[in-house]
Amino acid sequence: MQLYLVRHGESANNARDESQRVHDPGLTELGAKQVEYLGPWFASVIPDVLITSPFLRALKTMVPIQRATGLNPLVWRDLHEVGGCVSGYPAIGHVGEAGLTAEEIVEQFPSCDVEGSIGDAGWWGGKSHEGAADIAARVQRIVERTLTEFGDTDLKVVFVMHADFKRELLRGFCAEHSFSRSDYGPLHNAGVTELTLTGTTSRLDSYNNIGHLPYGLKSSEGVY
């Protein structure tokens, strides 16, 4: 299989000071421009499966890809950003928020197929900030699910997701690479990383590609 990991377009939180961030931001004007260029690029890729995080910024990033490919996106809860859906920041602590419900997601994004684990309490359900052990377990679930469902196929699968969890998931698939920010640089908004996977092997084909973006639309400093 070919797996394409897409970071969302610039979100309102990326453009704000940490103390002003909200629990589920949309895209900035720049972010909305960035994601439009994902549509024609993926139309040329011709993916078979489109899967997105339930965060609003990821859902909005998914739209141009869906529109260009005609795919019905799947919403996987486990593709959410590290930490979960919480308000606050480290200096003052975090408070768990609900996150969008399945009904709210489908109301805003009618083509989505939302997995059954997302119900009326919201996809995060007000839980506390996600810890390291939970992150590691989630990475393992996604790796196993991906390889079980797609690993020994010729399918092209797209994950629309987030910077911090993208690094974690890349380490899960390709443990020989650190993917640290200090070694590999910041992950760009609307950047695409491509892997070739089988049930037993992994290969990094491209990393953090923004060749589809015109000059002047690059952003990458925020990783929230």
Q: Which of 34, 42, 5, 76 is nearest to 213 (CA)?
A: 34
> Which domain CATH number covers 93?
3.40.50.1240
| Residue 220 domain-assigned (yes or no) | no
Say whether pLDDT at 50 is over 70.
yes
The whole-number pLDDT of residue 12 equals: 84
How many structural domains are present in the chain?
1
| Residue 102 domain-assigned (yes or no) | yes
What gap in Å lies between CA 105 and CA 56, rounded to an integer?
A: 9
The whole-number pLDDT of residue 224 equals: 40
Looking at the chain, the whole-number percentage of residues with pLDDT higher than 70 is 95
The whole-number pLDDT of residue 89 equals: 79
**Are the beta carbons of 135 and 186 closer than 8 angstroms?**
no
**Are the beta carbons of 54 and 99 closer than 8 angstroms?**
yes
Say whether pLDDT at 6 is over 70.
yes
| Residue 224 domain-assigned (yes or no) | no
| Residue 216 domain-assigned (yes or no) | no
Say whether pLDDT at 181 is over 90.
no
Looking at the chain, the whole-number percentage of residues with pLDDT higher than 90 is 84
Task: Give this prediction's pTM.
Answer: 0.94
Instruction: Print the domain residue range for 192.
Output: 2-209
What gap in Å lies between CA 89 and CA 102, rounded to an integer?
A: 26
pLDDT in tens, 183-223: 899 999 999 999 999 989 999 999 999 999 999 999 985 54
The whole-number pLDDT of residue 93 equals: 78
pLDDT in tens, 74-120: 999 999 999 999 998 777 778 899 999 999 999 999 999 999 999 99
Q: Where are the beta strands (DSSP E) in the chain?
A: 2-7, 49-52, 74-75, 86-89, 93-96, 113-114, 156-161, 192-197, 202-209
The whole-number pLDDT of residue 19 equals: 56
| Residue 147 domain-assigned (yes or no) | yes
| Residue 204 domain-assigned (yes or no) | yes
| Residue 10 domain-assigned (yes or no) | yes
